[in-house]
């Protein structure tokens, strides 16, 4: 067996299959949305401007949402991210709503192509700095994700989670939420 049989010619996408969504004119839309995403992440601006840019990209965002600087929100399928009202996402966090399986690992990982699972950040939740929210996760209403956490599963309403992987470390009473302070 020659080296070329083991390692076929590489494509522009490496080991990730190119999907229909990224061919033809859709490729130009993808580039435009990525430029918008870069602007929202890196340029100094008011947080409300970041929210507007992410909405333009297709992210579903409620009212009075705070998105800090250098927050990464899914580049490939921004439309699979739902951010409800009064959510706070602090700087350098990642919200990823999809995953790709490299072609050579399809059998190992028991699936192929992209998996568009989405993410839902429920009303009033707080995502601490440098946290990572992985595909398929729902962070519950008024829940807190501690800084640097990696959220791999759902976080219940009115709870605090931290760590890698994030685990619930505290539950709190909904009466402790100051809804009168939401603006």
CATH number at residue 137: 2.160.10.10
Between 142 and 101, whose confidence is greater? 142
Examine residue 10 and state whether it is found in any structural domain, yes or no: no
Residue 3 belongs to a domain:
no
Tokens of 99: 């995953």
Considering the domain boundaries, does residue 165 fall inside one? yes
pLDDT at 24: 73
Domain of residue 160, residue span:
20-173
Residue ranges in the chain assigned as alpha helix (H):
3-6, 25-42, 47-57, 106-109
Report if residue 52 sits inside a domain. Answer: yes
| In-domain check, residue 41 | yes
- The pLDDT tens digits for 48-106 are 999 999 999 999 999 999 999 999 999 889 999 999 999 999 999 999 999 887 777 87
Q: Is the pLDDT of residue 6 over 80?
A: no
Helices then strands, counting H and E runs in the chain, come out as: 4, 16
* Structural domain contains residue 5: no
The whole-angstrom separation of Cα 169 and Cα 57 is: 34
Whether 164 contacts 148, CB under 8 Å: yes
**For residue 9, pLDDT beyond 60:** no
Active-site residue, 104 included? no
Q: What are 58-68's pLDDT values in tens digits?
A: 999 999 999 99
CA distance 138 to 32: 28
Q: Please tell me the predicted confidence (pLDDT) of residue 102.
A: 76
d(CA 152, CA 154): 7
| Token duo for residue 7 | 């390692």
17 DSSP assignment: P
Q: Which of 37, 54, 98, 104 is catalytic?
A: 98
How many domains would you assign to the chain? 1
pLDDT band at 3 (very low <50, low <70, confident <90, very high): very low
């Amino acid at each position: 067996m020659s080296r070329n049989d083991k390692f076929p010619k590489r494509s522009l996408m490496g080991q990730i299959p190119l999907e229909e969504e990224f061919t033809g004119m859709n490729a130009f839309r993808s580039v435009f949305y990525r430029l918008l995403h870069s602007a929202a992440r890196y340029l100094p601006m008011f947080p409300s401007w970041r929210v507007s840019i992410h909405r333009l990209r297709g992210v579903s965002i409620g009212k009075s949402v705070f998105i800090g600087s250098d927050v990464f929100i899914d580049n490939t399928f921004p439309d699979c991210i739902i951010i409800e009202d009064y959510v706070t996402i602090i700087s350098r966090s990642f919200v990823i709503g999809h995953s790709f399986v490299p072609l050579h690992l399809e059998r190992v990982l028991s699936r192929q192509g992209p998996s568009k699972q989405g993410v839902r950040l429920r009303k009033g939740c707080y995502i601490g700095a440098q946290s990572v929210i992985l595909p398929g996760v729902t962070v519950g209403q008024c829940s807190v994700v501690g800084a640097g956490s990696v959220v791999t599963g759902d976080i219940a309403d009115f709870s605090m989670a931290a760590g890698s992987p994030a685990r619930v470390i505290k539950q709190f009473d909904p009466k402790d939420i100051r809804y009168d302070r939401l603006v």
